[in-house]
Amino acid sequence: MRIYLTDAGAIALRDPDDFKRLDVLVDPQPQERLDRAIARIGRREDERHVRLCPSVLRFLSGHAGDAQWEAGFQAMLDFAASRGWVDEAGMLRAHITINTEDEVVSVDDFKAAMRALPAGISAITTGSGEDVAGIIISSLTSVSASPPMIGFFVQQTASARAALARTGKFVANVLGEDHQRIIQDFLGAPQGPARFAAGLWRESDQGLPVLADALASIECDIVCTEVLGTHDLIVGKIRRTTCRQSNPIINFNAGTHRIAPALEPVQ
């Protein structure tokens, strides 16, 4: 098995059923980010080794409690102990392997590909009173039907990020043709009540801003936040929805578009 510390900040376990090998694959990344990742899985021993916490491996494997996997894992721990690779605290010694095969596209190529993706536009809102906050996004996505969950990605530099973390809740308001002014205000006005000057905003039972004539308003509690490169993935469990028939708008090729009438169904 192999723990993978990606330069996106994510930690994954590859090949959890391979008990013959254990190392830590590391994408080249700033020392501070790597130190934070290593602290989440154990501790650094020296330049080329880390000490891993077995319970972290069991957690990341997704197989903890599975009798066959547990037997293989225990055999691996016993073998490591017989070789002197387990210290008195039960921490496992593992090599660091630097990932030299991590070719990625440029930011420009990434943006060009993403401009080709048509996506709905939503206003994420959070906070209440003078502390209301919001951000325009096109990354809203369905996550799970049961429990019902949606998610979106927010830049770590976005001014709404702190309010989202503080409130622990958000409303995803799906925007339509009548909401151009709201988009302008969210993109141009300072964070706070100024962003909510236009539009039919009401308060949810929790005190969060809900757009009364949105195509859908989806009220959520945040259940997961994952740092991924420049953005945070924020996943919310849906507590309440309100839907309304109206004309949607989409973001495509760096512009806002209407949707054309539906095509004839394919026979």
Ligand X SMILES: Cc1cc2nc3c(=O)[nH]c(=O)nc-3n(C[C@H](O)[C@H](O)[C@H](O)COP(=O)(O)O)c2cc1C
Interaction site with ligand X (CB under 6 A): 121, 135-139, 152-155, 158-160, 187, 251
Helix (H, G, I), strand (E, B) or coil at 166: helix
Cβ closer to ligand X: 97 or 180?
A: 180
Tokens of 220: 């959520």
Cβ closer to ligand X: 74 or 180?
A: 180
140-149: Cβ within 8 A, 24+ apart: 140/172, 140/174, 143/235, 147/237, 147/238, 148/237, 148/238, 149/220, 149/223, 149/235, 149/236, 149/237, 149/238
Residue 191 Cβ, how far from ligand X at the closest point, in Å?
Answer: 6
Residue 188 Cβ, how far from ligand X at the closest point, in Å?
Answer: 8
- Beta pairing class for 122-126 and 216-228: unpaired
Determine the Cα–Cα distance for residues 7 and 141; give it in Å rounded to an integer: 24
Cβ closer to ligand X: 121 or 182?
A: 121
Identity of the residue numbered 223: V
Residue 178 Cβ, how far from ligand X at the closest point, in Å?
Answer: 16
Q: Are 38 and 53 contacting, i.e. CB atoms less than 8 angstroms apart? A: no
Q: Are 38 and 79 contacting, i.e. CB atoms less than 8 angstroms apart? A: no
Helix (H, G, I), strand (E, B) or coil at 150: strand
Residue 237 Cβ, how far from ligand X at the closest point, in Å?
Answer: 20
Residue 190 Cβ, how far from ligand X at the closest point, in Å?
Answer: 8
Residue 255 Cβ, how far from ligand X at the closest point, in Å?
Answer: 9
Determine the Cα–Cα distance for residues 158 and 243; give it in Å rounded to an integer: 27
Q: Which residues contact 100 (CB under 8 A, 6 or more apart)?
A: none
Cβ closer to ligand X: 73 or 152?
A: 152
Cβ closer to ligand X: 154 or 215?
A: 154
Residue 102 Cβ, how far from ligand X at the closest point, in Å?
Answer: 24
Determine the Cα–Cα distance for residues 87 and 101; give it in Å rounded to an integer: 32
- Measured from each CB, the residue nearest to ligand X is 139
Cβ closer to ligand X: 136 or 215?
A: 136
Determine the Cα–Cα distance for residues 118 and 66; give it in Å rounded to an integer: 42
Which phi and psi angles does 58 have, rounded to 5°?
-65, -40
Cβ closer to ligand X: 56 or 119?
A: 119
